Structure 1
Amino acid sequence: MAEFFDQIADGEPGLALFLNAGDPSLDILADLVFMLDDAGVDCLELAVPFPGSVTDGPVIRRSHERALALGVGLDEVLTFISNVRPKLHRLRIALLADWSYSIKSRPMAEVVGDIAEAGADGLLLHAVPPRVRPGYYQATKDAGLPVVTTCYHKVSTQQVMAEAAEHASAYLYLVAQYGRSGTAPADGFSELAGTIAELRLDTHVPIAVGFGVKSRADVTTVHALGADAVIVGSAGVARVEEALAYNRDVVSEFADFVRSVHPAHTLGTLRS
């Protein structure tokens, strides 16, 4: 269970952070990734930017647009991963890609093999049609590439939750709130406990909760409800956006953000 989230073994919540590849630019992002590794972050959910995401709020949608304007696509992201992954000591990289925009035009087995060869530690494929899923699961199994599956608190059917539990081999992403990224449940996270317990019966991989997790207090709350890890997206992307807008050092600003959310955080010296 601790493969993606080392802190679980110590009783601490695992931490995954979402960023779009290309926001900041890939050269700056490399330094940011090394900082996350030094800072003890468990996982980077690194997205291949794609337009018109219906599940993302305005902060992440603007991030997609900035990255796309720099010409960042799947090939550039895989080259980036292949360059940085061998230099990481702790941080895992889970690649997030939209099936229709980034994957559909390529043979599934081929593109999954390319992702595995680049060094991604896992794959979250967004909006995979039901007819495509069997081939996707087989291709990832054949390539030895762990899968991140998703389901929604209160919204996903028992069938969807069972499929997510069955096929998750990296971690299971439980979305806390049906809606756009950056939103949290109106009544807080407390009702997640039942959903987490239900999923726990059918999976042995870590259960990570995202959407609306913005602070150290949120991390602590969600962990206390039974989640193994949390995924922080919009709050961190907003810090990147602010740093870019005011011409500040993105890596330094994001390091400050990590300090604010990491419950067991000790930031080491940034590598040169």
Structure 2
Amino acid sequence: MSGFFARRPPDRPGLAVFLNAGDPPLPVLADLMRMLDDRRVDCLELAVPFPDSVTDGAVIRRSARRALAGGAGLDEVLDFLGGIQPRLRHLRVALLADWSHTVRPLSMPGFVRRVADSGADGLLVHGLPPRLRASCLEAVREAGLPLVATCYATSAAEVKAEAAECASAYLYLVAHYGRSGGTLTTGHQELATALAVLRKAATVPIAVGFGVRSGADIAVLHGLGADAAVVGSAGVARVEHALAERADVVEEFQAFLHTLSPCSASW
């Protein structure tokens, strides 16, 4: 099983958090990542910031604009990751890069090799055109870089099967259509069914995201069969609040982690 969530006892849900590299600024982000590592958070989905994401709501869009305004481009993010990754003991980093903004100007093999050389533990390519999936798979396999594949709970059976086959880091199951920043849907049967189907095919952990905002949400997902939860907008909003109030971002985010702890989870 993938190392992203494998070191957590099976009765405890795993946790991935999303942040844009550069929001908070990279020196503060380094301190925040060390805190996440100390708290034994399993995964950071670290985005190379890009503008006007069609899948994100206002909170993450504002975060990306702040990061871009601060100069966080691909070179800066990979250099940053290369410097901090060797010091992380538990936290795994899945780099998220947008196809159109970040990957398209480069060759796929060259881009993937740079990500692998940075020390990233996995890669998620946002908005990858279906016609390029084969070349992406070939590139990550040659580089030995685990891939995060995605699908929706409502995706067609063949889409779920392809995601399960391609995922070598973990499978990100998006709970519902729409933009990030909402809440979990009230009806969970569809999500439970999707998890059961994917469980039969996937060889890696399944993490569910979109609308996860609390420890209660994480407990629900774990009860439905998810290995882990992905928390995005709620955490990014906490960073935004700390920056606006000139508060300590690391302390604020650590307090936020406490609100996510369902019962026995170490974080």
User: Structure 2 length as normaliser, TM-score?
Assistant: 0.96
Residue 157 of structure 1 is matched in structure 2 by: 156
1:1-272 matches, cutoff 5 A: 1=1, 3-154=3-154, 156-263=155-262, 264-266=264-266
Contact preservation (8 Å) 1:177, 1:183: no
Q: Give how far 1:9 is off.
A: 3.2
- Structure 2: how far apart are the matches of 1:169 and 1:148? 7
Contact preservation (8 Å) 1:151, 1:175: yes
- Structure 1: gaps (5+ residues): 268-272
Q: Give how far 1:185 is off.
A: 4.1
Task: Kindly provide the amino acid, as one letter, of the partner of residue 77 in structure 2.
Answer: V
- Structure 2: how far apart are the matches of 1:208 and 1:25? 27
- Structure 2: how far apart are the matches of 1:164 and 1:83? 31
Contact preservation (8 Å) 2:94, 2:124: yes
Q: Give how far 1:187 is off.
A: 2.0
Contact preservation (8 Å) 1:40, 1:265: no
- Structure 2: how far apart are the matches of 1:188 and 1:257? 26
Q: Give how far 1:115 is off.
A: 0.3
- Structure 1: how far apart are the matches of 2:9 and 2:3? 10
Q: Percent identity?
A: 59
Residue 270 of structure 1 is matched in structure 2 by: none
Task: Kindly provide the amino acid, as one letter, of the partner of residue 195 in structure 1.
Answer: A
**Residues 212 and 56 (structure 1 numbering): CA distance in 2 closer, same or farther, change over 3 Å?**
same
Count of paired positions: 266
Partner of 2:172, secondary structure, is: strand
Contact preservation (8 Å) 1:259, 1:265: no
Partner of 1:132, secondary structure, is: helix
**Residues 2 and 114 (structure 1 numbering): CA distance in 2 closer, same or farther, change over 3 Å?**
closer
Partner of 2:4, secondary structure, is: coil
**Residues 250 and 56 (structure 1 numbering): CA distance in 2 closer, same or farther, change over 3 Å?**
same
Contact preservation (8 Å) 1:2, 1:8: no
Q: Give how far 1:265 is off.
A: 4.4
Q: Give how far 1:190 is off.
A: 4.3
Contact preservation (8 Å) 2:184, 2:217: no
Partner of 1:63, secondary structure, is: helix
**Residues 265 and 225 (structure 1 numbering): CA distance in 2 closer, same or farther, change over 3 Å?**
closer
- Structure 2: how far apart are the matches of 1:166 and 1:266? 31
Task: Kindly provide the amino acid, as one letter, of the partner of residue 153 in structure 1.
Answer: A
Contact preservation (8 Å) 2:121, 2:145: yes
- Structure 2: how far apart are the matches of 1:159 and 1:10? 28
Task: Kindly provide the amino acid, as one letter, of the partner of residue 240 in structure 1.
Answer: V
Partner of 2:131, secondary structure, is: coil
